Structure 1
Amino acid sequence: MTTLRKGSRIGSPATIDFGRTVRVLRVRGLTARFGVRSIVVSAVLLVAACVVALLALGTGDFAIPPDRVLRALFGNGVGGDELVVWEWRAPRVLMALVLGAALGISGAILQSVTRNPLGSPDIVGFNSGAYTGALLVILAGGGYYATAAGAVGGGLATALAIFMLAFRQNVKGFRLIIVGIGISAMLAAVNTWLILRADLDAAMSAAAWGVGTLDGLSWSEITPALIVLVVLAIVVVPVAHRLQILELGDDAAQALGVRVGRSRLVLTALSVAFTAVGTAVAGPIAFVALAAPQLGRRLARTPTTALLPAAAMGALLLVACDWISRRIFAPTTLPVGVVTASVGGAYLAYLLVVEARRN
């Protein structure tokens, strides 16, 4: 995790602590503090994610050894390796990596804003809202891009409704979660009713998409989403330092000069945007945004939720779950959302037990 602070003296010595801060850099009046353990843990997680991605690119009905996968990736493939790797498997694997990182960032932002490990887009209801928007478009006969627009619109509308209902002089994290859970339950009922009222073909298509799946993705479908997610990642960097300050509490954040209400609104909007874009591409994939930030935080041993370990852990979780979903019952392929829900459900139970014992 990197934080930025103004006003640090030029030439001040760097603090070395493997668990937290390693080095201080000053660029144009901004001081950046880098956590060494966070960087090391994130690098290890990213390497593990790349290894799983390499295995995923080579496994399937047409198996390809890792060395040939690497040759195909660099344009020196043998026979039909380049076609299989680049055209058939690479869009899915790349989307799993990027989308997993996006969900990890989204969950980390929301957990910091709410100061609660249960503050996740799928718990609060942003996923349900994005699914409702996409579902309306699917049942109306809309195409891929219309469905994506419906998912983004539904997620943003749900976030706005939750904020308006949770607002009382200020938006408190616990109140936001409670209101979000209620809205999520209502939208889940609406989604079920919409599917039951639809004709059979549309209902089956909507239900399959609603589980969360990366099947059948092509470059033309994932390229716009990749561009948007990269832009969002760039946008979140300048405001990321506010997350640690917000976790200190509203009074402390205000004393440090942070406009709490405005910061919370901007950061939540970014969290919703990451979730909505992911839902637009692959449907509502559950529990990655919940588990990745906490697992990354525990491995990096950071005092607050950090974005970089959360993104790396999210990428590893989703690409691994997608690989499992393809191979566990091969040649039958499961939607990746089924695997993430199974893994995430077990993690949620563990988290609830730990929190209960702590209290």
Structure 2
Amino acid sequence: MTDTVRTVKAAESVSPASARTRQLRRILLLGGCALIVLFVLVTVSVTTGQMPMTPSVALRGLFGFGDPADVLVVQEFRAPRMVAALIAGAGLAVAGSMLQRLFRNPLASPDVMGVTGGASFGAVVLLATGVSASLIPVAALGGGMLAALLLGVFAWRSGLAVTRLVLVGLAVQAGLAAAVNLMVVRFPAELANSALQWTTGSLYGRTWTEVWAAGGAVALALACAFALHRRLAVLDLGDDSAGALGLIPSTARLQLLVTAIALASLAAALTGPVAFVALAVPHVVRFLAGPPTAGNLALTGLAGAVLLLASDLVVQHLLPVSGLPVGVVTATLGAPWLLVLMIRQSRPVNRSLG
């Protein structure tokens, strides 16, 4: 009896405020560790390659000082690729986190739902028409919205059930990927190489023009995502509670959905359809940092940037085959994760059938 009383008193002593404080400390600790890892990865990114250099030389080259060859290598080749990885990784991870919470579905992500495939389709169509590459973010955004519309048309009547959503999303992704491959095959030789990156996702050949155009748009979409986070938190309580708090659930859900799709599409405008960053990173962050908060969302973006930059460094320096796209590494890491998630989602169904 005494042990029971002690247990009850100990449970009562754990107040919601203390739980939030512990979670905040955990998020800050994880964020600090992620920043250290990110600093190391950025240093490796700008110092290694066919022309290795010390961190001090790379830093001077980044700001335009030192040997002209070092300045050219750092400013025009290494830095744009590194910045593109950071921006796209953060955008994809945050978009995946938002979609999973909106649909209350651990399998919801831009790549599984076909959004990144639609963004790639829009970008390749733009390249086929010969329009300026600076408009790729606009084309990618249009393609992502098209994929979301197709997904809604084919899956909405099923009530967005987990299995139906995933299957329809994979079908949309596969169909758009096939259309991209067809256009690449029919392209003239001079356009085929520039369009081929949109089939698997690549950071090769990124320029500052592309980084400023798509990266600036991703930064704006990220700001909108954080500004709308309070509405996402209210929707987590359920539609009835959200309505009682003065929020119109359908309007808020549409705003958040458009923001997430725009974020994923614009990130794909930098990299092409990089797989599984948006699917896996939010799960890892929730496992390590606890229930979703604004701090978790920021940590998710940071973890996505770390994962994509690390994957790109693996492609550049650790694999025996040169020239592979970064999507190969992320797909290799993410495919088993998707399989595990689908098995976990199917278990309740199997029990009910038995």
Q: TM-score range by the shorter chain?
A: 0.7 to 0.9
The 5 A counterparts of 1:43-62 are 43-62=32-51
Aligned to 1:280: 269
Q: 1:340 aligns with which of 330, 347, 354?
A: 330
Aligned-partner Cα distance in 1 for 2:272–2:101: 24
Question: Alpha carbons of 1:76 and 1:139: their partners in 2 closer, same or farther (altered >3 Å)?
Answer: closer
Cα deviation 1:161-183 (Å, max 9, x = unaligned):
43355556x97574655543443
Unaligned runs of 5+ in 2: 1-14, 350-354
Aligned-partner Cα distance in 2 for 1:64–1:101: 28
Aligned-partner Cα distance in 1 for 2:250–2:160: 9
Moved over 6 A (4+): none
Aligned-partner Cα distance in 1 for 2:200–2:72: 29
The 5 A counterparts of 1:320-335 are 320-329=310-319, 332-335=322-325
Aligned to 1:352: 342
1:307 aligns with 2:306: no
Aligned-partner residue type, residue 32 of structure 2: A
Q: Does the CA contact (< 8 Å) of 1:106 and 1:289 recur in 2?
A: yes
Aligned-partner Cα distance in 2 for 1:264–1:192: 34
The structure that is strand-richer by fraction is 1
1:132 aligns with 2:121: yes
Which range moves more in the overlay, 108-117 or 254-263? 254-263
Q: Does the CA contact (< 8 Å) of 1:38 and 1:302 recur in 2?
A: no
Cα deviation 1:238-284 (Å, max 9, x = unaligned):
21122233334434433443322111111111111111112222211
Q: Does the CA contact (< 8 Å) of 1:130 and 1:153 recur in 2?
A: yes
Pairwise CA RMSD: 3.0
Cα deviation 1:306-333 (Å, max 9, x = unaligned):
3112101100100000111111246823
Q: 2:214 aligns with which of 225, 231, 246?
A: 225
Aligned-partner Cα distance in 2 for 1:177–1:262: 24
1:151 aligns with 2:131: no
Question: Alpha carbons of 1:241 and 1:310: their partners in 2 closer, same or farther (altered >3 Å)?
Answer: same
The structure that is helix-richer by fraction is 2
Q: Does the CA contact (< 8 Å) of 1:46 and 1:315 recur in 2?
A: no
Q: Does the CA contact (< 8 Å) of 1:37 and 1:300 recur in 2?
A: yes
Q: Does the CA contact (< 8 Å) of 1:119 and 1:290 recur in 2?
A: yes
Aligned-partner residue type, residue 277 of structure 2: V
Aligned-partner Cα distance in 2 for 1:353–1:145: 42
Aligned-partner Cα distance in 1 for 2:306–2:245: 35
Aligned-partner Cα distance in 2 for 1:251–1:323: 47
Q: Does the CA contact (< 8 Å) of 1:246 and 1:253 recur in 2?
A: yes
1:291 aligns with 2:280: yes
Unaligned runs of 5+ in 1: 1-13, 24-33
Aligned residues: 333
Question: Alpha carbons of 1:304 and 1:146: their partners in 2 closer, same or farther (altered >3 Å)?
Answer: closer
Aligned-partner residue type, residue 80 of structure 2: P
Which range moves more in the overlay, 316-325 or 304-313? 304-313
1:160 aligns with 2:159: no
Q: Does the CA contact (< 8 Å) of 1:105 and 1:311 recur in 2?
A: yes
Aligned-partner Cα distance in 2 for 1:39–1:154: 37
Aligned-partner Cα distance in 2 for 1:114–1:328: 37
Cα deviation 1:192-237 (Å, max 9, x = unaligned):
4444444555445433332211111121221122221222222222
Q: What is the identity percentage for the equivalent residue pairs of Structure 1 and Structure 2?
A: 36
Matched position secondary structure for 1:237: helix
Q: Does the CA contact (< 8 Å) of 1:114 and 1:176 recur in 2?
A: no
